Structure 1
Amino acid sequence: MDLKLSHCVVPVDDHDKALHFYRDVLGLEVRNDVSFEGMRWVTVGPAAQPEVEIVLEPPGANPNASPADRQVITELMAKGLMGRLVFATDDCDATFEKIQASGAEVVQEPIDQPYGVRDCGFRDPAGNLLRFTQPR
């Protein structure tokens, strides 16, 4: 079996804020931005990984979710407990400086971790935890 990651889903509560952050701050490519049946399908991804797409998905996107489910998702998003992404970078400190300059919420400044990486952390506009890691 030859499996490869194709898509991952990150919950967002505002596509425009999310696009600004992922496209303009992080420099990811917009792969899709399509209206479909009253919803908006937005995907982004790193230029160096054209086969991987990050779906920016609002809480109401799952047609099987009840109104109560959507409310729980919204509450978890507000606490920053729904989505996580880890990006590899060749310069953790420069990445940190660029993202911090955008006004993004800092979770952790660059630090050398005992497991062999230097990393830092931020929250995106929807509260998702993003980590940026550089091998030491």
Structure 2
Amino acid sequence: MALKRMDNVGIVVENLDHAIAFFQDLGLELDGRAMIEGEWAGRVTGLGDQQVEIAMMRTPDGHSRLELSRFLAPAPVEDHRHAPVNALGYLRVMFAVDDIDATLEKLQKRGAQLVGDVVNYKDVYRLCYIRGPEGLLIGLAQELG
């Protein structure tokens, strides 16, 4: 038995439409939206009776997906969005981009904020972290040369 692939990364948000628009501006494509509810879903998550609206976003190469979820019931119980980069748990999602400056300019119009600086890592990558929709930590990487 072998691992086939990583299927998706899930992110819980409050405003699904805003998150979809942000990640579309980043270059992801909306695969679809659906309401996930019922006894089977609660058995998977351990939340019992749940109602969750999801949007599946796909990278242009088709290899990676981001599942955005908005919980209607039960309501979210914790908020890790504003934790610093050295907090325990999931840190961020990193995206490779063609032009980090143009990407930043576009996303800042949607409210993205640069966390630190755009840095050059050994003339191999330009890297930065941003706070995207609802304070989510997102990494951007532009391969150089």
**In 1, Cα distance between the equivalents of 2:122 and 2:72?**
40
Query: Cα deviation per residue 1:48-89 (whole Å; 9 max; x = unaligned)?
Result: 2x242201123667x7xxx7xx42x23x23547665110011
Assess, with a 3 A threshold, how the Cα gap between structure 1 residues 78 and 121 changes in structure 2: closer, same or farther: closer
Contact 1:96 1:109 in 2 (8 A): no
Structure with more contact order per residue of length (Cα contacts < 8 Å, sep ≥ 6): 1
Assess, with a 3 A threshold, how the Cα gap between structure 1 residues 108 and 45 changes in structure 2: closer, same or farther: farther
Contact 1:10 1:56 in 2 (8 A): yes
Contact 2:81 2:134 in 1 (8 A): yes
Name the SS of the counterpart of 1:43 in structure 2. strand
Name the SS of the counterpart of 2:4 in structure 1. coil
**In 2, Cα distance between the equivalents of 1:102 and 1:17?**
9
Q: TM-score, normalised by structure 2?
A: 0.70
Q: Structure 1 residue 15 and structure 2 residue 16: aligned?
A: yes
Aligned residues: 126
C-alpha deviation, 1:114, in angstroms:
4.4
Q: Structure 1: which 5+ residue stretches go unaligned?
A: none
Q: Structure 1 residue 77 and structure 2 residue 81: aligned?
A: yes
**In 1, Cα distance between the equivalents of 2:143 and 2:104?**
15
Relative to its length, the structure with more helix (as a share) is 1
Which of 126, 129, 136 is the aligned partner of 2:137? Answer: 129
Name the SS of the counterpart of 1:41 in structure 2. strand
Pair member with larger Rg = 2
**In 1, Cα distance between the equivalents of 2:91 and 2:69?**
11
Letter in 2 for 1:102: R
